[in-house]
Amino acid sequence: MPAKNPEEICSLFKQYMAAGDIEGVLSVYDPEIVFLNQTREVVKGKQELKQELGPSAAARARFDFNITQVVQSGDIALMHTQWNISGPEEISLYAIEVARLQPDGTWRWLIGDPFTVGKQMAAQTAAAGRQTR
């Protein structure tokens, strides 16, 4: 069940994670996936991504989302998505993702950066708190 548009990728990702289906999760990613993990390390390819996302899939983590914006140019789409994750830990993320149209007409994520915006906002909030003291 491939994504027919960039927005459908999020629904499929959520569905596969909830089912604990790591192969399904990986199917929403382009073969050339580049993913920035929480420690800002670059993860490349589906094998490395499997190691990164496997624990969340095994825990059947619940990923709820709100797509705030999709900007598309031809076969590339820039996505801004708010994610709320339940299990194995509770976390809220604002992800920036790039999706690419595949030769078969389906969409897959090519680049994933779910942590930059949240880290920047947390750092700004902490800095603002220090300035008001």
SS3 42: strand
Per-residue pLDDT tens over the stretch 9-52: 999 999 999 999 999 999 999 999 999 998 999 999 999 999 99
Band of the pLDDT at 122, cuts 50, 70, 90? very low
> In 1-133, which residue ranges form alpha helices assigned H by DSSP?
6-19, 22-27, 45-58, 116-131
Q: pLDDT: is 120 or 88 the higher one?
A: 88
* Domains of the chain from N-terminus onward: 6-131 (3.10.450.50)
Going by C-alpha positions, the residue among 105, 107, 36 that lies closest to residue 76 is 107
85 pLDDT exceeds 70?
A: yes
Q: What is the pTM of this model?
A: 0.86
